[in-house]
C-alpha cells in the first residue's frame, strides 16, 4: 500500500474479527517499529508481543480504557529504558506500529501506558525491570467493522506559514 494511503487509512480500531494476525506480519510490524528515529540514536525500546488470550485479558483488565484488548488477536507492548527521551522515542515507534498495521490491512489502537497508574503493574507483569517504562500497548486485529476514520482538523486550520 502507498505510504499516503496507509496514513489516511489508519484509525483506531477497537473491535476485531476472529481472524488471527500472522506471526510474519507481527514481525514485519515490529521491524518497522524499530526503524523509528530516537534521540541520540539510543533505540531504548523493547517490544513484547502477547498473543495468549488469557494474558491479553489480564493486561486488558489492568487498564482503564483498554478493555477491548481482550478481543484483539495480539498486543504489542512498547517498553523503553528510562532515558531522557524515552517517551518521544517510544511514541515514534508506536506510531510506526500503527502505520505498518494499517498498511497490512490490520486494525490497531494505541492504549495509554506512560502516566497511567497501571504502568508499573503491567511492566512487572511482563517481567521487565524497574529501569523500564511502559510507553504504550497496541492492540492488533482484523477490524470487525472496517476502518472508520475520525474527522480531523483541516490543513487550512492547522498550517501556519512563517508565524503562528
- Binding residues for ligand FMN, per CB under 6 A? 11-12, 14, 65-66, 109-112, 150
Pick the closer one to ligand FMN by CB: 129 or 148: 148
> Helix, strand, or coil here: 17?
coil
Residue 109: CB minimum distance to ligand FMN, A: 5
For residue 80, the minimal CB distance to ligand FMN (Å) is 14
Taking the least distance from each CB to ligand FMN, the nearer of 76 and 109 is 109
Which DSSP symbol is given to 121?
H
**Closest approach of ligand FMN to the CB of residue 111, in Å:** 4
For the CB of residue 18, give the shortest distance to ligand FMN in the complex, in Å. 21
For the chain, the C-alpha Rg in angstroms (whole number) is 16
C-alpha–C-alpha distance, residues 83 and 92, integer Å: 15
Q: How far apart are CA 21 and CA 116, in angstroms?
A: 28
Closer residue to ligand FMN (CB): 16 or 163: 16
Identity of the residue, 104 or 161, whose beta carbon is nearer to ligand FMN in the bound complex: 104
The candidate with the shortest Cα–Cα distance to 91, out of 141, 136, 137, 31, is 136
Min dist CB 151 to ligand FMN, Å, is 9
3-state secondary structure of 109: strand
Q: Residue 99 in contact with residue 32, Cβ under 8 Å?
A: yes
CA–CA gap between residue 116 and residue 76 (Å, rounded): 17
Considering the complex, state which of residue 157 and residue 161 has its C-beta at the smaller distance from ligand FMN: 157
Amino acid at each position: 500500500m502507498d505510504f499516503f494511503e496507509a496514513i489516511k487509512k489508519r484509525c483506531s480500531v477497537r473491535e476485531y474479527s476472529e481472524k488471527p494476525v500472522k506471526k510474519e506480519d507481527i514481525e514485519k510490524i515490529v521491524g518497522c517499529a524499530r526503524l523509528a528515529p530516537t534521540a541520540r540514536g539510543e533505540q531504548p525500546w523493547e517490544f513484547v508481543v502477547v498473543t495468549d488470550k488469557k494474558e491479553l485479558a489480564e493486561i486488558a483488565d489492568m487498564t482503564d480504557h483498554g478493555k477491548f484488548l481482550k478481543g484483539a488477536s495480539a498486543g504489542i507492548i512498547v517498553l523503553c529504558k528510562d532515558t531522557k527521551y524515552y517517551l518521544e522515542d517510544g511514541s515514534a515507534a508506536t506510531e510506526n506500529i500503527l502505520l505498518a498495521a494499517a498498511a497490512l490491512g490490520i486494525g490497531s489502537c494505541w492504549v495509554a501506558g506512560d502516566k497511567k497508574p497501571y504502568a508499573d503493574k503491567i511492566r512487572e507483569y511482563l517481567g521487565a525491570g524497574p529501569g523500564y517504562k511502559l510507553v504504550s500497548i497496541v492492540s492488533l486485529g482484523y477490524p470487525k467493522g472496517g476502518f472508520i476514520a475520525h474527522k480531523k482538523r483541516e490543513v487550512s486550520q492547522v498550517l501556519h506559514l512563517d508565524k503562528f
